[in-house]
Amino acid sequence: MPPLMESQPSADGERRRSSISMIPDALYGDKEKKTWVILGASRGIGLEFVRQLVARGERVLATVRKKWAGHASALWSQAGGDHGRCQMFICDILSEKSIIDFVAELSAIPGLKIDYVVINAGVMRYPNRATEASFDEFAFHLHTNTIGPIITAQKLLQSKIPIGTIAFMSSDSGSAGAFRDIEDGFAAYASSKAALNQALRHMAAELKRKNDDTVILAIHPGEVATDMANIDLPWELGGLMTPEQSVRPMIDVIQNKGSQHSGTFWTWEDKPYPW
Ligand SMILES: NC(=O)c1ccc[n+]([C@@H]2O[C@H](COP(=O)([O-])OP(=O)(O)OC[C@H]3O[C@@H](n4cnc5c(N)ncnc54)[C@H](OP(=O)(O)O)[C@@H]3O)[C@@H](O)[C@H]2O)c1
């Protein structure tokens, strides 16, 4: 990734966030190792990101909603056994206060720079048809899959922590260009991912206008065998992967993108996906 701009006042008087390359290595430790923030890491794809990144020796700051949650126990044991390279935080993206508290905790870490943020948290309550879903059910998908992720990224960007890349976990269901009318029962979910895509494109464009070269990406992880995908669908999914098979190439996709790619949509296989 090309070096970020030096911190200096912009036309609107705001101070640009400082460059990752300006942080002295002494403050940061092993410069070969990258720092990842994984939002929504208790299970499924998020937990697999943590597992693989810890195995690679990367530094991981991972969030769960409730540290006492039984399903997060695998992550807690990872956090305990890796000499502090995996730290756990609490963040519920349905709560602005929880997001702000989490970002404040990160901001208090001396010399922190973040190479990659993966905003993975998401929900899909099946079915969520446009002809049937209640107001609350529709809002739940939009709050969790659109507003929470965007506000989390916004608060991180406002924090002055240098950030290289923010990757949002989107979905092929959110594509307007490759609309899949076979996806019966996905209306609220698909709408929430389409809105996420549109908002993150605006975020990328706004950052470019502010000369901030944090890279903003949307990723489709493929069809992955997690709790979310554990539903009986009336159509053929075709090629359900394990989290391991999806996350391994996704790490490379995220790492290989530079500022020229900000505001683009990719599959786990590194293929551009239509908005
Ligand atoms: N699986 C697929 O085939 C597939 C396909 C396309 C896109 N995706 C996307 O990939 C992402 C991960 O999905 P997954 O398959 O791994 O699903 P999953 O197994 O259901 O895991 C969802 C994760 O999101 C977290 N989460 C949910 N609501 C949250 C909230 N309010 N605040 C913080 N965290 C929250 C969950 O935490 P808790 O454990 O606390 O509930 C859990 O860690 C989602 O954004 C999903 O839309 C998945």
- Whether residue 6 lies inside any domain: the answer is no
Show the domain range for 203: 29-267
What mean pLDDT value characterizes the chain?
A: 87
Alpha carbon distance 120, 35 (integer Å):
16
**Atom 24 in ligand 1: which residue has the minimum CA distance?**
121
Buried b vs exposed e over 134-172: b needs ≥16 C-beta within 10 Å? eeeebebbbbbbbbbbbbbbebbbebebbbbbbbbbbbb
Q: Is residue 151 part of a domain?
A: yes
119 lies in some domain: yes
φ, ψ dihedrals at 111, nearest 5°: 70, 15
In a domain, 24, yes or no: no
Tell me what pLDDT residue 13 has: 37
Q: Is position 153 within any domain?
A: yes
By percentage, how much of the chain surpasses pLDDT 90?
A: 73
- Give the pLDDT score at 75: 65
**Ligand 1 site residues, Cβ closer than 6 angstroms:** 40, 42-46, 65, 69, 71, 91-94, 120-124, 144, 148, 169, 171, 220-221, 223-224, 226-229
| Domain count within the chain | 1
Residue 142 lies in a domain: yes
pLDDT for residue 253: 98
CATH code, 166: 3.40.50.720
Average pLDDT rounded to a whole number, residues 181-191: 96
Look at the block and give the residue holding tokens 């730290």.
87
Residue 7 belongs to some domain of the structure: no
Q: 99 pLDDT exceeds 80?
A: yes
What whole-number distance in Å separates Cα of residue 229 and Cα of residue 237?
A: 10
The count of C-alpha atoms lying within 13 angstroms of the C-alpha of 275, restricted to the half-sphere facing its C-beta, is 11
Within a domain: residue 14? no
User: pTM for the complete prediction?
Assistant: 0.90
- Over range 166-170, report the average pLDDT: 98
> 12 alpha carbon to ligand 1 midpoint, in Å?
37
**79 pLDDT above the threshold of 60:** no
